[in-house]
Amino acid sequence: EDASPGKIGSLVVPNLRVLILLSLPKLSGTLCKGQLYTTLRELTISDCREVKEVFRFDPSQHSQSGVPNLESVGVKDCGNLEMIFSSSNNSGNPILVFHNLKSLVLADLPKLGSIYRRSE
């Protein structure tokens, strides 16, 4: 899998500012893995019941956090969602920092264990 900035699955979207995912029952697993989403400002996910994790980053691959300009996150009605953000800390780089985050709305997420997890 290519590690191009702003890649979602096999779709490269380097200038994406808004991502809205609504009523996608077959969408599953982790949505965005290992990429930088430097332009993403707004994320809305609703009724995507099989998604387990939204973002997974590897700071050892990038010198900055994965979503530095993220301002708004809204996630609701995702019955299997366990994690919003996760990152590995194998490189000793700092944890993810959300300098611009102004809004975080979470609703009806019965399996959500935490918003952010850093694995050692």
Q: Are 27 and 50 in contact (CB under 8 A)?
A: yes
Identify the residue whose tokens are 């096999």: 10
pLDDT(8) > 80: no
* pLDDT tens column, 24-74: 999 888 887 766 678 889 999 999 999 999 888 766 665 555 688 899 999
Domain boundaries, the chain: 7-114
pLDDT band for 3, please (50, 70, 90 cuts): very low
Which residues, including other chains, have CB under 8 Å from residue 74's CB and lie 6 or more apart?
43, 44, 45, 46, 103, 105, 106
Reduce the DSSP state of residue 61 to 3 states and report it. helix
Give the pTM: 0.79
Write down the pLDDT at residue 30. Answer: 84
Write down the pLDDT at residue 60. Answer: 64
Write down the pLDDT at residue 34. Answer: 63
Mean pLDDT of the chain: 80
pLDDT band for 5, please (50, 70, 90 cuts): very low
Q: Which two tokens stand for residue 67?
A: 């979503």
Pairing of strands 11-12, 7-8: antiparallel
